Structure 1
Amino acid sequence: MNLPKLKWTFKMKRVEDILIDDSVLYIFNLRVDELTDEKDVEGMQNFIATFDNFTPVFEDDFGEAKFLYMLGNAYSLLNVPQLKEWFSPDLNKVIIHFKKALNLLKKRNIDDISQITLESQISTNLGNYLSQQGRFMCAKKFWQRSISLNNQPIAHTAMYQSELYVAECLNNDESKAHYHYYLAYQSLLNRLELPNDSSLFNDSYLIFDDEQTNHFKKWFEEAFDENAFEQLYHHYDEENLTEADIEYLAWCNDNCLFIDELEIDELRCALYPDSLTLPTMTCKLNLTLSHHEELVYHANFDEIKSDFCYARHLIFTALNTENNEQSSFNSTFKKLDDMTYSIDNIKAQNLKSAFKILYSLFDKIAYFINHFYDLNEIEKDKKINFESLFKKLNSKNGWQPHQKLSESKNHFLHALFYILKDVRDIIGHESVSDWLNPELAKIYEIRNFIEHRSFKIIDSLYEDLVSANSVQQIEVNRLIKEKKQYSNECKALFPEIRQHKGTEKHQELVEQKNKLDKKIADIDNMLYEKEKRSKHTLMMTEKDFITQLMILAELIRNSIIYLAFSINYEEQNKPKNDEDFVWEREVPTK
């Protein structure tokens, strides 16, 4: 729809609260659309600045979600990843506003047409922004969510463009590149079946009557037979697998946990579904290197994959273990019954071990990158972890990007930095990790409690019993009230103590104050002990812990894929020297 030109002037005094209802949001959205269409960055900055003049309040969570979605779209114009430094804190703003909005809709939990439409729009735009950050794997699930909600046309276009881009990146694997072209073609056909209405969908010009799109469609249809894509991988022989093996592979596929950027159903039948590998690497001949040293990076990548696969299998095994199943490994002592209904058999240990292994892979990936890109001296290896990888070591000016990465154009490497911010907070950057399941303990906090403190997985059946602390809270409130009363009584004694100084009454008043001080100290000790012991152990229900564990597994799996793509990017962009003699060797496999 063509909107009339609007002249906007905001002159308002600072006030406490202003109600943002649907009519106000409609006007705000018109303004954002207008400024976006005109690419008016300064105008958008001024528009966003007006919200510093008041505190917006909303009729309900749905209204606030629409407001946050509007702001996320506004920040998208100001913070285009390709136009910003990859480490800019401003790039957090879009992600945070979209995730806040989605969280509000999740809490509302009403599947009416308005909520479905809004969630689909937010998920599409969040996916688009993640894709601009190089996070094509993370983006895919949001586009798929949009399509599942209401067959969002723009999400189909985004999938089409993403598959095209990934195909162009895979010059080292022609069969996979062709399959990505096939997926792009399928997404394009899906979009072509939906309305061509530029007033509703801003992607129409990219699909309908677009020369480049028409050229791709014609090229694909002439170059390929769709039937050729019915099977990409060699399939396993069912006779060589047990029923449990087949169930495990199906579970991995259903949860998108194979180390393969192709999330296709055929992977459940593939002989080698974790097929992603590093590309061949070009380097100068060095006769000092032994055979295994020449292959050290490929071997390290295999090790990372093996650790992930082991953790993945531990999760599957644990999910198929009953909470009350007896385990022999810790049957050698009598266990305490502390009424937490915690799971203490092999299931809990497998889940916690999987969590620790997965989290440790962040640091292994960091170590790999540090050596491959030659970021720091060998003497600094002990200082390298996922959190320190991207920053300048020993910087005295707060968080500063690593000098060898600050000008990097490798957006797959940047994608790993953004995953870091999903897991850990970075000084000087607004927290993104707060909005990765904000109602649950953060992933890095869980890891710290498992590794260094005390952690328990609680049987979800007894969640209400464990969390029921109303009696204790009543006692805490009583003590706080008593402490306040004793403190007031102490304050009231001060004038009398000064007034009766040098008299017998003075000593009596001092003793009275000392007794009050002791009562206050006793209450402080009890409250301190309560706080210390209540924070000693992190307890999570089995359901909540598995939720965070599966998110961690997804982040690690995507990180491994981004690592491989980042190496491939470097190999593709190495300067070519036609005068050099190149000796090609295949990477050997067992």
Structure 2
Amino acid sequence: MSDIRKLASKIDLACDRNDHETLNETLDEIGKINLKPLSPVECATLNYFIANAHSGIRRSVKQKQNWLGDQHHREKEILHLRLALSDLGELTDEEIRTDLKSRITTNLANALNNIGRFVEAIQLWDQTLISYPYFPMAMGNKASTMFEYARYASKGYVQAIFLQESYKLLKSALEIGVEKQARNEMSALADHINTFGDWDWNKVEIPLPAYRKGRTKKEKTYRKWCVENQLYLDFLNDVSRDWTSLEDTLTLPNMVQDILEEDVYLPAPYAIFNQLKQEYVSARFLIFEAIQEKDKPLHFSDRCVKLYDALDYRYYRLWVERLKMSFLSIFAIFDKIAYLVNDYWKLEIPVRNLSFQSVWFEDRGLTKIREQFLISENKPLQGLFWLSKDLYYRSKDVQLISPEAKTLTDIRNHIAHKYLRVHDHYLNNPAQERKTKGKELSFPVSDIELVEESIRLLKLARSALIYLTTAITYEESKKSADSNSEYTFPMTIHSVNDNSRL
């Protein structure tokens, strides 16, 4: 551990001096360390400082800040922070004996926020504040992001809630105490927010809409589960856990469209988004049902089905198949997002060549980002691009930012094209089997892993849909600023009442 501490001091000093040459030398030294005898905490510490080194190099070389200018070091920074969290696993701060986990989580939140992934960043800052409720920098960074998030809300009460929460966090951080530069920035933002109204959270209570509370016990359980896992398509699920005041209200903003004399249907972006939402909420419910059914007696549809015992404690159950079908359905949402991106940004990519991974690039090798994206300052669109890196794994990829990317893709490919084996986690260890045995034809996972990966994928889909709508909101606000209102005419689009759905 002493060698790691020496390297850590060297990295910190080099970062302070913007000395990228020393940082590169330190990374070379770290590459020669034998990792086998290291404990999980030591491995996490090493990955944490590798991430710091890449962050320091990125800041020291002052590359042009576009989608590709600092991609390599950002990728490495995010990857090693995630590896560090993976090393620590379920260890608590008491077991680690330092605040290492919170520092890693905060840095990862900052890194993701810088590339437009503000939804995941807020969730990570929340994790930090659960362990350390008085961590001022996590408070301040979250507050700044929530202020920016509020810009994309179309409903006044949603904006008000985000602004109030931002102001509350800023005031708390300033009371706890932060360094001078951060204090000046936080004070200025708090003063700016205060110009919109009186945000004293002890006095002002912003009324929330009262949606249906659930007619049955199952519906109530389902809606609470959605809120607790932050799975509602609603901005407020990133700040509120009041399940009676949340619904899937996420929609595309008002959009300027060309007049189509013959086409009387809903404009294509709205129609595509309708389908994306319906597929998301349906897959979400099927996953909930599968989890609920998991510990119940055998479903009647599984009875009287002759099977042979493979002697490996494998599940043959309806709830497993529900999870597998939902997994495929969620995965398909991302490619359908690419169709909407292609249509809205008028990329004119042939449909047969479209995917969520390829839509951003001009070449088949996926190395040259489209010029209109490179010059764009649309932060949520950048977040959508970076989210695509969490999903797809190719054998020739050398820059991954998610350790789970390959697992997600392997599960998807084996469900669709080969076969996925789901085992009882008490009686079998699929993770160990994946390390020691081949898995080309079949891919073993535990029941717990399949549930966790399904929810992980669902959360990624929610984030992607939020980035999509906020990216279009950004573009439409630019159009409004640049357009001549004399030549635009309003068109009313009606919502479909629940009782009138076909």
**TM-score, normalised via structure 1 length:** 0.75
Q: Does the alignment pair 1:56 with 2:28?
A: no
C-alpha distance in 1 between matches for 2:164 and 2:402: 38
Quote the residue 2:332 is aligned against: 360
Q: Distance in 2 between matches of 1:331 and 1:22?
A: 57
1:311·1:358 contact (CA, 8 Å) conserved in 2?
yes
Partner AA of 1:582 in structure 2: T
Aligned residue number for residue 84 of structure 2:
101
Q: Deviations over 1:90-145 (max 9, x none)?
A: 320110121122222227x3533755411111111110111010000011121111
Partner residue of 2:54 out of 58, 75, 87: 75
Contact 1:21 1:63 in 2 (8 A): no
Distance 1:149 1:223, change over 3 A: closer
For structure 1, the 5+ residue unaligned runs are: 1-18, 474-529
**C-alpha distance in 1, partners of 2:308/2:145?**
54
Are the structure 2 counterparts of residues 567 and 468 from structure 1 closer, same or farther at C-alpha, using a change threshold of 3 Å?
Answer: closer
- Mapping for residues 115-194 of structure 1, pairs under 5 Å: 115-151=97-133, 152-170=135-153, 172-194=154-176
Report what 1:251 is aligned to.
225
1:90 to 73, 82, 85: 73
* 1:5 aligned residue: none
Question: Cα–Cα, structure 1 residues 229 and 359, in superposed 2: closer, same or farther, change >3 Å?
Answer: farther
What amino acid is aligned across from residue 454 of structure 1 in structure 2? Y
CA 1:52 to 1:237, structure 2 compared with 1: closer, same or farther past 3 Å?
closer
Q: 1:227 to 1:451 in 2, by over 3 A?
A: farther
RMSD: 3.0
In structure 2, runs of 5+ residues without a counterpart are 497-502
- Aligned-pair CA distance for 1:426: 6.0
1:337 aligned partner: 309
**Identity value in percent:** 21
Larger Rg: 1
Match of 1:275 in 2: 249
Return the alpha-carbon distance in structure 2 between the equivalents of residues 132 and 544 of structure 1: 30
CA offset at residue 559 of structure 1?
A: 0.5
1:178–1:243 Cα change, 3 Å:
same
| 1:566, distance to aligned residue in structure 2 (A) | 0.8
SS across alignment from 1:21: helix
In structure 1, distance between residues paired with 2:432 and 2:487: 73
Task: Quote the residue 2:378 is aligned against.
Answer: 410
Is 2:328 the counterpart of 1:422? no
8 Å CA contact 2:51, 2:78 repeated in 1 = yes
Q: Is the contact between residue 324 and residue 345 of structure 1 (CA under 8 Å) also seen in structure 2? A: no
* Paired AA for residue 374 in structure 1: K
**1:456 matches 2:435:** no
CA offset digits 1:263-316 (Å, max 9, x no partner): 24454103x611111101012323132233xx3211211211111111110111
Paired residues of 1:267 and 1:273 also in contact (CA < 8 A): no
Letter in 2 for 1:56: I
Answer whether contact 2:250 2:466 (CA < 8 A) is retained.
yes
Cα distance in 2 between the residues matched to 1:25 and 1:90: 19
More deviation in 175-184 or 555-564? 175-184
Give SS of 1:259's match.
coil
Normalised TM-score (structure 2): 0.87
Check 1:176–1:49 CA distance in 2 against 1; reply closer, same or farther (3 A cut). Answer: same
3-state SS in 1 of match to 2:377: coil
Contact kept in structure 1, 2:50 and 2:80, CA below 8 Å: yes
CA contact (8 A) 2:136 2:176 kept: yes
The answer to whether the 8 Å contact 1:358/1:553 transfers is: yes
Alignment counterpart, residue 548 of structure 1, candidates 453, 472, 478: 453
The 5-angstrom pairing of residues 209-220 of structure 1 reads: 210=187, 212-216=188-192, 218-220=194-196
Q: Does 1:381 align with 2:351?
A: yes
SS at match of 1:56: coil
User: Structure 1 422/116 Cα, relative in aligned 2: closer, same or farther at 3 Å?
Assistant: farther
